[in-house]
Amino acid sequence: MPAPGENMKINGERLWDSLMEMAKIGPGVAGGNNRQTLTDEDSEGRHLFQDWCVAAGLTMGVDQMGNMFARREGTDPDALPVYVGSHLDTQPTGGKYDGVLGVLGGLEIIRTLNDLDIKTKHPIVVTNWTNEEGTRYAPAMLASGVFAGVHTQDWAYNIEDSEGLKFGDELARIGWRGDEEVGARKMHAFFELHIEQGPILEAEGKEIGVVTHGQGLSWVQVTVTGKDSHTGSTPMPMRKNAGLGMARMLELVDKIAWSHAPDAVGAAGHIEVFPNSRNVIPGKVVFTVDFRSPDLDTITDMETEFAVEAKQIAEEMGLGIEFEKVGGFDPVTFDEGCVSAVRNAAERLGYSHRNLISGAGHDACWINKTTPTAMVMCPCVDGLSHNEAEDISREWATAGADVLLHAVVETAGIVE
């Protein structure tokens, strides 16, 4: 099968315009986006994506988890499709590019193939995975996890958000619960384009990250219970301050992560304090500890150390404590063949590149369990992500989508 010529390029202006158009849906408070999963804004973004797909001649399929699959036919009816894509949902204070670049970059390669009248042997399918972010419904990468057989659909449907609304009900409410059986689709390969969300590419002046591995993650939700009481009149020795217990445990998370330097990281981004009133000593706190590392044993060690020492803190302070694992995945090694296709593409196009380990979780991490998978990354300014100020340049987005195009076309096979 011939390799694509090095002059085959996507339309960077059109990709950028689409990114800006999508960013108008679910605007944030500081220039980014709040398009959380299964909200009305999520639905609106999906409609826009669907309209663009139909205009590009694609056929849309939606599965029972709301995953969207837009298909461009290949010439061989027996060939499995090459899938591309990422997610359109965002963090509550998210950027315009996390996930969105991978979906609209996928659409842009289809538009380019249409413009150039290029046919491929394998079909190409552009995917939008539901609830990658895991903010409203933990865990992250929920629907790709069901697709890959890691979670059951029933379990996912019953997850509740902080207001007690169930995932399955909200999916139906916004009108995106499709008919397709989840995970029934078989793939030839999967490629995900994403911003790096870290500082390495920009610092080294590299245009492309060839993602060889992804670090693993553990989310443990901790509930600490004390006793609500008056902040003014409860004597110090009589207090059962769950908030203070949490403060000590957060120090512990940081200490444990540092003790496994340089690769391990840890923090608690989700914190709820009850009753959250200025003059009530918190009787209950709920927070989620996020530990990550490219090494599975390190993650397990960090989890164990935290559980042992946090229990000690609770005992010393007369507090109750419970742990619940609400998310996690093992470190990932991407497929050698797909990784080579990404590296070859960067080489052919003359883009500077280096290997990367992804610091964030991605739908590709789950799909890699069932299908040969790889990721392409482009730099982002100051490595900043999960922040409304998240930023990339048009040139970086274009380079990333060019590499995606070449890796996909090489894998899907050009028909002369």
Cβ–Cβ < 8 Å for 86, 140: no
Which parts of this chain interact with Mn ion (CB under 5 A)?
98-99
* Distance in angstroms (rounded) separating the CA atoms of residues 22 and 45: 7
Tell me the closest approach of the beta carbon of residue 30 to Mn ion, in angstroms: 17
Residue 355 DSSP SS3: strand
Q: Which residue is nearest to Mn ion (CB)?
A: 99
Tell me the closest approach of the beta carbon of residue 320 to ligand GLV, in angstroms: 28
- Cβ-based nearer residue to ligand GLV, 388 or 410: 388
Asked if residue 94 binds ligand GLV (CB under 6 A), the reply is: no
Cβ–Cβ < 8 Å for 92, 71: no
- Cβ-based nearer residue to ligand GLV, 349 or 365: 365
Helices 12-23, 100-115: axis angle to 10 degrees equals 140
Structure tokens at 236: 């110090």
Peptide bond into 294 cis (omega under 30): no
> Residue 302 carries which side chain, given as an amino acid letter?
M
Q: Which does 196 bind (CB under 5 to 8 A by kind): ligand GLV, Mn ion, none?
A: none
- Cβ-based nearer residue to ligand GLV, 133 or 303: 133
Q: Which does 361 bind (CB under 5 to 8 A by kind): Mn ion, ligand GLV, none?
A: ligand GLV
The pattern of x and - marking residues 310 through 349 that bind ligand GLV according to CB under 6 A reads ----------------------------------------
- Cβ-based nearer residue to ligand GLV, 15 or 360: 360
**Which one of residues 41, 42, 63, 133 is an interface residue with ligand GLV (CB under 6 A)?**
133
Residues with Cβ within 8 Å of residue 270, at least 6 apart in sequence: 221, 286, 287, 288
Peptide bond into 331 cis (omega under 30): no
Q: Which does 140 bind (CB under 5 to 8 A by kind): Mn ion, ligand GLV, none?
A: ligand GLV
Asked if residue 140 binds ligand GLV (CB under 6 A), the reply is: yes
- Cβ-based nearer residue to ligand GLV, 8 or 140: 140
Asked if residue 193 binds ligand GLV (CB under 6 A), the reply is: no
- Cβ-based nearer residue to ligand GLV, 64 or 90: 90
Q: Give the max Cα distance, the chain.
A: 83
Cβ–Cβ < 8 Å for 192, 363: yes
- Cβ-based nearer residue to ligand GLV, 94 or 123: 94
Cβ–Cβ < 8 Å for 412, 75: no
Asked if residue 192 binds ligand GLV (CB under 6 A), the reply is: no
DSSP category for residue 26 = S
Asked if residue 286 binds ligand GLV (CB under 6 A), the reply is: no
Residues with Cβ within 8 Å of residue 237, at least 6 apart in sequence: none
Residues with Cβ within 8 Å of residue 313, at least 6 apart in sequence: 245, 248, 249, 252, 319
- Cβ-based nearer residue to Mn ion, 98 or 196: 98
Q: Which does 99 bind (CB under 5 to 8 A by kind): Mn ion, ligand GLV, none?
A: Mn ion
Asked if residue 196 binds ligand GLV (CB under 6 A), the reply is: no
The pattern of x and - marking residues 353 through 392 that bind ligand GLV according to CB under 6 A reads -------xx-------------------------------
Cβ burial, residue 70 (10 Å; 0-12/13-18/19+):
buried
DSSP category for residue 181 = P
* Distance in angstroms (rounded) separating the CA atoms of residues 54 and 60: 8
Residues lying near ligand GLV in the complex (CB under 6 A): 133, 140, 360-361
